[in-house]
């Protein structure tokens, strides 16, 4: 018996999908690319890589071949984590940026070549395929190659974000050549072709990915960076390897939520759940003011610690275990006032634009995968020969060391920056339950918490939890609320002191999720899957 009420409470055109083999992504053509691999005899890892490659073409507003990536997967026996976020070029130091951008620069730039760390996504695909895949690596890229060569009709949400980003990015190197073939953003339904990306994908297929880090693509990236006055070199690319890591977890209501450990922000969701475990949320309505207030305050406390302490783990003064210490989280829970909103600071634990996809197959393998160029087209620069649209993860570093800043996240050679993209995985008694994620910068841990509370505390099924209106903590007392939220709930939050702003653009502020919940024996009962209506995506299976 599933713990869900399958009546539908929120406006949506989508219903849960039930199947033994499932792919859920933010673009239908990417979901179909994944299904092709499953139908060809591949497994969930093969499907995830094919879907991820297709998304670099079909959703370029959020990711590209120059992305970073993370993954949590259940191989049928245990969980594995993969950190495929890139490191800084060898030449990057605070002095490098202060010399170029002035002594007052607080972070590397948001756009341009000096925002680009080594892209890690392709290395992540390679590592997953080598260790867990069944099909040849080159076969996994064929759907993406076809989409890039033949083109596809641009869908509604992607088009809106494409047009919105164009004024800022159209003059950056390579952007117009790659993404404005009409001299403007495409219109809904216009066919977009990306021949340069097709060349890049073919080079990857022919070399099992090696061309990106030790071949013609690496050489082209280094030439492109040098032409823009950047520091990224062939040596930086050749030195990169993704890292297999052990996921960290937090128990909640008899389940365990797993996240990738720092340098990512997944620990924020674990901290918030550890705090919320001290409150009886099940006794409150899922859309009640009280339930929303407690979750907002827990996320504030979590972010205060994450922004203060989380960085490349080699530079952190604290361990995840210290930040998740039960006694510490109990003390943080005591900081919450149920009657009013508060502006909180970091505690002292030492005392004690992204795409997400998920796949699952009938053998029981489940994959939670996320990749991103970060702030909508990333750095905004595109290597023209192979169509490498580059992320801007370097913007996540700090350049300043004044008191109160996260000095562990200070830029340094071959160091990973603080990262926002986070896959999630839920288990119970050591067995897999759900592979899921919610896209959108700092919305991601907030989305992990809000949707999980709806499922575990209030019994809402994955699609309903996905469809429900969300809030997003910004800073201080400020929160954004989705326009679909009940006005009475919004007013109740205002009465508690939350400074609310209603947002009509769900993509921009409230993320989008994909969910696969295991029903039982995958070969018999299969899975139930959901895809967020805030994007163009779908869940599909057989």
| Lookup: tokens for 251 | 């128990």
Per the model's pLDDT, the better-predicted residue between 351 and 150 turns out to be: 150
pLDDT, tens digit, for every residue of 39-68? Answer: 999 999 999 999 999 999 999 999 999 999
Question: How many other C-beta atoms lie within 10 A of the C-beta of residue 456?
Answer: 21
- Least Cα distance to 190 among 154, 147, 150 occurs for 154
- Least Cα distance to 362 among 132, 172, 526, 534 occurs for 526
Query: What span, in angstroms and rounded, lies between the C-alpha atoms of 505 and 534?
Result: 9
Query: What span, in angstroms and rounded, lies between the C-alpha atoms of 49 and 126?
Result: 9
| Lookup: tokens for 202 | 């073919």
Question: How many other C-beta atoms lie within 10 A of the C-beta of residue 111?
Answer: 19
Query: What span, in angstroms and rounded, lies between the C-alpha atoms of 394 and 388?
Result: 17
- Least Cα distance to 188 among 154, 162, 160 occurs for 154
Q: Which helix (H) or strand (E) holds 487?
A: helix 487-495
**What b/e sequence results for 217-238 when a residue is b if at least 16 CB atoms lie within 10 Å of its CB, and e otherwise?**
bbebbbebbeebebbbbbebbe
pLDDT for res 347? 75
- The confidence band for 6, taking pLDDT boundaries of 50, 70 and 90, is low
- The confidence band for 7, taking pLDDT boundaries of 50, 70 and 90, is low
| Lookup: tokens for 245 | 């890591």
Do 431 and 253 contact (CB within 8 A), yes or no? no
Residues 6 or more apart whose Cβ sits within 8 Å of residue 180? 166, 170
pLDDT for res 9? 64
pLDDT for res 406? 85
Residues 6 or more apart whose Cβ sits within 8 Å of residue 102? none
Do 37 and 88 contact (CB within 8 A), yes or no? no
- Determine the Cα angle at 439 with ends 106 and 409, to 5°: 25
Task: Give mean pLDDT, residues 359-380.
Answer: 96
Q: Which helix (H) or strand (E) holds 71?
A: strand 68-74
Q: Is 134 left (phi over 0), alpha (psi -120 to 50) or beta?
A: alpha
pLDDT for res 441? 82
Query: What span, in angstroms and rounded, lies between the C-alpha atoms of 88 and 240?
Result: 10
Mean pLDDT (the chain, rounded): 94
Total-model pTM = 0.94
The answer to whether residue 354 is catalytic is: yes
Query: What span, in angstroms and rounded, lies between the C-alpha atoms of 378 and 97?
Result: 19
pLDDT, tens digit, for every residue of 422-438? Answer: 999 999 999 999 999 99
User: For the chain, what are the domain ranges?
Assistant: 29-68+84-242+376-409, 245-354+420-541
| Lookup: tokens for 182 | 């009409």
pLDDT for res 352? 42
- Least Cα distance to 117 among 362, 338, 396 occurs for 396
pLDDT, tens digit, for every residue of 211-227? Answer: 999 999 999 999 999 99
pLDDT for res 5? 66
Do 209 and 137 contact (CB within 8 A), yes or no? yes
Task: Give mean pLDDT, residues 451-472.
Answer: 95
Task: Give mean pLDDT, residues 189-196.
Answer: 96
- Least Cα distance to 91 among 66, 109, 116 occurs for 116
| Lookup: tokens for 153 | 């009709």
Does the pLDDT at position 507 exceed 70?
Answer: no
Do 178 and 368 contact (CB within 8 A), yes or no? no
User: What DSSP line would sit under 351-372, residue for residue?
Assistant: G--EEEEEEE-TTS-EEEEEEE
Q: What percent of the chain lies above the pLDDT cut of 90?
A: 90
460 three-class SS? strand
Question: How many other C-beta atoms lie within 10 A of the C-beta of residue 170?
Answer: 15
Considering only 14-18, 191-195, 506-510, which range has the smallest mean pLDDT? Answer: 506-510
Residues 6 or more apart whose Cβ sits within 8 Å of residue 24? 17, 31, 357, 358, 359, 514, 515, 516, 529, 530, 531, 537, 538, 539, 540
Residue 10 buriedness (CB in 10 A; 0-12 / 13-18 / 19+)? middle
- The confidence band for 400, taking pLDDT boundaries of 50, 70 and 90, is confident
Query: What span, in angstroms and rounded, lies between the C-alpha atoms of 289 and 492?
Result: 6
Output the CATH code of domain 245-354+420-541. 3.60.20.40
Determine which one of 56, 58, 354, 500 is catalytic.
354
Question: How many other C-beta atoms lie within 10 A of the C-beta of residue 414?
Answer: 16
Do 195 and 180 contact (CB within 8 A), yes or no? no
pLDDT for res 349? 76
Residue holding tokens 């897999």? 432
Q: Compute the Cα dihedral for 240, 245, 251, 254 and give only its sign.
A: positive
Do 28 and 540 contact (CB within 8 A), yes or no? yes
Query: What span, in angstroms and rounded, lies between the C-alpha atoms of 48 and 38?
Result: 10
Query: What span, in angstroms and rounded, lies between the C-alpha atoms of 199 and 382?
Result: 14
pLDDT for res 3? 73
pLDDT for res 522? 95
- Least Cα distance to 155 among 106, 113, 109, 190 occurs for 190
Q: What is the CA radius of gyration of the chain?
A: 22
Do 56 and 144 contact (CB within 8 A), yes or no? yes
pLDDT, tens digit, for every residue of 29-46? Answer: 999 999 999 999 999 999
The beta strand positions in 289-419, using DSSP E, are 354-360, 366-372, 382-383, 388-389
| Lookup: tokens for 181 | 């073939």
């Amino acid at each position: 018996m599933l713990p869900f009420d399958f009546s539908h409470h929120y406006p949506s055109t989508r219903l849960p999908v039930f199947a033994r083999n499932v792919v859920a992504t933010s673009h239908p053509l990417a979901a179909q690319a994944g299904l092709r691999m499953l139908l060809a005899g591949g497994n969930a890892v093969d499907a995830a890589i094919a879907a991820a490659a297709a998304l670099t073409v079909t959703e370029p507003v959020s990711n590209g071949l120059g992305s970073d990536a993370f993954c949590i997967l259940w191989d049928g026996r245990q969980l594995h984590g993969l950190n495929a976020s890139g490191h800084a070029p060898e030449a990057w130091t605070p002095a490098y940026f202060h010399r170029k951008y002035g002594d007052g620069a607080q972070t590397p730039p948001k756009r341009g070549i000096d925002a680009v760390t080594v892209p890690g996504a392709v290395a992540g695909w390679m590592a997953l395929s080598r260790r867990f895949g069944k099909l040849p690596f080159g076969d996994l890229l064929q759907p993406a190659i076809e989409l890039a060569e033949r083109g596809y009709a641009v869908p509604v949400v992607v088009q809106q974000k494409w047009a919105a980003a164009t004024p800022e990015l159209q003059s950056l190197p390579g952007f117009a050549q790659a993404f404005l073939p009409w001299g403007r953003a495409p219109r809904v339904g216009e066919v977009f072709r990306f021949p340069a990306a097709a060349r890049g994908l073919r080079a990857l297929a022919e070399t099992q990915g090696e061309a990106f880090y030790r071949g013609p693509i690496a050489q082209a990236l280094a030439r492109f960076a040098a032409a823009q006055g950047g520091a990224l070199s062939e040596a930086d690319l050749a030195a990169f390897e993704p890292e297999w890591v052990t996921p960290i977890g937090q128990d909640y209501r008899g389940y365990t939520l797993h996240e990738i450990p720092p340098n990512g922000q997944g620990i924020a969701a674990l901290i918030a759940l550890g705090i919320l475990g001290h409150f009886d949320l099940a006794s409150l309505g899922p859309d009640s003011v009280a339930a929303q207030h407690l979750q907002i305050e827990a996320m504030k406390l979590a972010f205060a610690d994450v922004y203060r302490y989380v960085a490349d783990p080699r530079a952190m003064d604290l361990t995840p275990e210290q930040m998740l210490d039960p006694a510490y989280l109990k003390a943080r829970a005591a900081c919450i006032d149920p009657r009013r909103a508060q502006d909180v600071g970091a505690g002292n634990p030492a005392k004690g634009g992204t795409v997400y996809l998920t796949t699952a197959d009938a053998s029981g393998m489940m994959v939670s995968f996320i990749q991103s160029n970060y702030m909508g087209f990333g750095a905004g620069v595109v290597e023209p020969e192979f169509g490498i649209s580059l992320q801007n993860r370097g913007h996540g570093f700090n350049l300043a060391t004044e008191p109160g800043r996260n000095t562990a996240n200070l830029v340094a050679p071959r160091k990973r920056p603080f990262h926002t993209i986070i896959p999630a995985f839920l288990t119970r008694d050591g067995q897999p339950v759900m592979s899921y994620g919610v896209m959108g910068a700092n919305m991601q841990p907030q989305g992990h918490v809000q949707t999980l509370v709806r499922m575990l505390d209030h019994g809402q099924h994955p699609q309903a939890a996905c469809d429900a209106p969300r809030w997003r903590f910004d800073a201080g007392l400020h929160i954004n609320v989705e326009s679909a939220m009940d006005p009475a709930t919004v007013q109740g939050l205002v009465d508690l002191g939350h400074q609310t702003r209603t947002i009509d653009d769900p993509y921009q502020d409230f993320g989008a999720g994909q969910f696969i919940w295991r029903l039982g024996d995958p070969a018999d009962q299969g899975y139930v899957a959901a895809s967020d209506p805030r994007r163009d995506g779908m869940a599909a299976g057989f």
